[in-house]
């Protein structure tokens, strides 16, 4: 059975608490939209697609709580609460917009049933699109190469299989690559705690490294490509992803290594012209001062803790989606791609 980070049980959402992995496997049961919003904010669930799926189920829980009085107007506070949980991941807003469109003209039980079907469809669609994305991504990877990845973009971050990590899973299964290098990804350590764990579950050869060793590895010729996910992509191909991604893209360009982004179509936000328009979430300084609650720095030292950075499109070799590949992303190539998929966006 494929690894999963979330389970829908008709009247409750179960989330695998990713803050505790790999030391402990604990499922949390959520029964209100407020609980889902808190789980998203507190990183119980993370990864743009998984955040969007969880938020969709949060709307269902809010509607179930209202029962016969459920209506679009009554659900507005719950939708607003969920939307405020993480400001950078566009999939969150995309999923909530799908849920809001589903509400049109419905009330009570009919509304609840329609929302439940739509949330499950969002979940199932994400899993299927990850497999399609892998089909486009695998041929791009250098044969017999070692591929560097950052953060976690696997089944834990999505509805299943994964985006960038899904490409790597499929590439290993196809005999395309010889292994993966996972950067630890400070401050939440998603690379060390989650990505290395996921790949080991699948028997994919993975080497964990400190984030600061990436340049050294590229200089030694031990990295043949870099592939990462994305939380938001703008109209010109600028991409917001986990902090540290921009540095990898600069290093890859200097060393002549291809740099790929794998993300679903829903991650593209054509309303934003460029990366300067992306709201970058800033998180609590204790995430940097501590590791899993243990202090590693002076308690009062000032901290700047952006959760994401922006990689200019000019540093990206290609963006891989479930509908194809955008080579050399810029305003023109992004517009041409979006024109071909307008009906599904």
Q: Decide: 190 and 243 in contact? Cβ < 8 Å.
A: no
Q: Tell me, what's the pLDDT at 343?
A: 67
Alpha-carbon distance 175 to 186, whole Å?
30
Q: Tell me, what's the pLDDT at 92?
A: 94
DSSP for 24-66 reads ---EEEE-SHHHHHHHHHTTSS-SHHHHHHHHHHHHHHHHHHH
Q: Decide: 301 and 289 in contact? Cβ < 8 Å.
A: yes
ω into 22 cis (within 30 of 0):
yes
- 88: Cβ contacts below 8 Å, ≥ 6 apart: 231, 232, 240, 278, 279, 280, 281, 307, 308
Q: Tell me, what's the pLDDT at 1?
A: 58
Cβ atoms within 10 Å of 220's Cβ, excluding its own? 10
Alpha-carbon distance 81 to 275, whole Å?
25
Alpha-carbon distance 316 to 226, whole Å?
10
R_g of the chain, CA atoms, integer Å: 20
Decide if 231 is catalytic. yes
Q: Tell me, what's the pLDDT at 90?
A: 86
Q: Tell me, what's the pLDDT at 344?
A: 62
Task: Output the six-digit token pair for 304.
Answer: 């700047």
**What angle is formed at CA 100 by the lines to CA 95 and CA 105, rounded to 5 degrees?**
150
177: left (phi over 0), alpha (psi -120 to 50) or beta: beta
Q: Decide: 181 and 218 in contact? Cβ < 8 Å.
A: no
State the catalytic residue, choosing from 10, 42, 68, 231. Answer: 231
Q: Which residues pair with 310 in a beta bridge?
A: 240
Question: pLDDT by residue for the chain (345 residues), tens digit each?
Answer: 578 999 999 999 999 999 999 999 999 999 999 999 999 999 999 998 999 999 999 999 999 999 999 999 999 999 999 999 998 878 999 999 999 999 999 999 999 999 999 999 999 999 999 999 999 999 999 999 999 999 999 999 999 999 999 999 999 999 999 999 999 999 999 999 999 999 999 999 999 999 999 999 999 999 999 999 999 999 999 999 999 999 999 999 999 999 999 999 999 999 999 999 999 999 999 999 999 889 999 999 999 999 999 999 999 999 999 999 999 999 999 999 999 997 664
Alpha-carbon distance 55 to 61, whole Å?
10
Q: Tell me, what's the pLDDT at 300?
A: 96
Residue with tokens 């050869």, as numbered in its chain: 205
The three state secondary structure string of 223-276 is CCEEEECCCEECCCCCEEEECCHHHHHHHHHHCCCCEEEECCHHHECCCCCCHH
What pTM was estimated for this model as a whole? 0.92
Q: Tell me, what's the pLDDT at 225?
A: 98
For residue 330, the SS3 value is coil
Alpha-carbon distance 194 to 177, whole Å?
20
- Residues 70-102 have pLDDT tens digits of 999 999 999 999 999 998 878 999 999 999 999
């Amino acid at each position: 059975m494929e690894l999963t980070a979330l389970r829908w049980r008709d009247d409750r959402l179960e989330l695998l608490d990713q803050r505790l992995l790999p030391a402990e496997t604990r499922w949390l049961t959520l029964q209100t939209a407020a609980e889902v919003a808190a789980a998203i904010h507190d990183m119980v669930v993370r990864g743009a697609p998984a955040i969007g799926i969880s938020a969709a189920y949060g709307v269902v829980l809010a509607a179930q709580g209202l029962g016969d009085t459920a209506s679009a107007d009554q659900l507005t506070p719950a939708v607003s609460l969920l939307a405020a949980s993480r400001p950078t991941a566009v999939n969150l807003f995309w999923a909530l917009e799908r849920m809001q469109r589903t509400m049109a003209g419905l009330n009570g039980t009919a509304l609840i049933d329609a929302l439940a079907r739509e949330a499950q469809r969002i979940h199932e669609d994400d899993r299927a699109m990850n497999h399609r994305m892998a089909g486009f991504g695998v041929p791009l990877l250098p044969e017999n190469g070692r591929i560097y990845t950052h953060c976690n973009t696997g089944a834990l971050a999505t509805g299943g299989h994964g985006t960038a990590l899904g490409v790597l899973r499929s590439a290993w299964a196809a005999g395309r690559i010889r292994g993966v290098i996972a950067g630890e990804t400070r401050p939440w350590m998603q690379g060390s705690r989650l990505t290395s764990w996921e790949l080991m579950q699948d028997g994919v050869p993975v080497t964990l490294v400190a984030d600061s060793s990436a340049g050294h590895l590229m200089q030694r010729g031990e990295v043949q490509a870099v592939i990462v996910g994305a939380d938001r992509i703008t109209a010109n191909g600028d991409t917001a992803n986990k902090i540290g991604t921009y540095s990898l893209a600069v290093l890859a360009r200097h060393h002549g290594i291809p740099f790929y982004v794998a993300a679903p179509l829903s991650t593209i936000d054509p309303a934003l012209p460029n990366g300067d328009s992306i709201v970058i979430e800033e998180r609590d300084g204790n995430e940097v001062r501590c590791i899993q609650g243990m202090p590693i720095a002076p308690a009062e030292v000032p901290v700047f803790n952006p959760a994401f950075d922006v990689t200019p499109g000019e540093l990206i070799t290609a963006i891989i989606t479930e509908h194809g590949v955008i080579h050399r992303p810029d305003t023109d190539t992004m517009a041409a791609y979006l024109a071909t998929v307008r009906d599904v966006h």
